[in-house]
Homo-oligomer: A and B are copies of this chain.
Amino acid sequence: MSRLLVAYFSRTGRTQEMAEEIGRGARETGVAVDVLPLQKVAVDALSGYQGIVIGSPSYYGTMVAEAKHLLDSSIKLHGKLVGKVGGAFATAASVGGGSETAVLSILQALMVHGMIITGMATDDHYGPTGIHAPDAERLIRTCRAYGKAVAELTKKLHG
């Protein structure tokens, strides 16, 4: 059975909440889901998952250095993540505050690994983006739909 990792870096708790909603959506499909802070993710463990979703606040327009450090370290796995499913989500202080570019910075890393990613035809097209304004309901819906979509793709490709 496919295993999906939702790894996040969160200082205020907001990115963690999104991670948990993405995990909830993913579990609806029956895949095994781990929702973990980045700090608890050993690089080697990444190869044990068929789907990997990474979330980060937007710091200066891209993922936080801690998340980048994990991805840079994953070079030791280069070639072993090919064909796995990837995903990304991000938070920012405002609309236009860098959440989309942070999502893309993560997706680019996953693409360099040869991973497979899915866009979303509704709402947050590249991956869920949360801003500090109170958009809770929309965001929960978006996160769950994304988690479900990524998990379904993982199941289709990896069983």
Contacts and interface: CB of A to CB of B under 8 A. Distances in A.
A156 interface: yes
A contact residues, range: 35 or more
- Identical chains in the assembly: 4
Contacts of A116: 116-119, 153
B109 A61 contact: yes
Contacts of A78: 121
Contacts of A61: 105, 108-109, 111-112, 125-126
Interface of A: 59-65, 68-69, 71-72, 74-75, 78-79, 81-83, 94-101, 103-105, 108-131, 133, 135, 138, 142, 153, 156-157
Nearest to A70: B65
- Residue of A62, A115, A129, A135 with most partner-chain B CB within 10 A: A62
A120 to B, nearest CB: 6
8 contacts: A59-B72, A61-B126, A62-B62, A79-B121, A94-B123, A95-B124, A98-B125, A117-B118
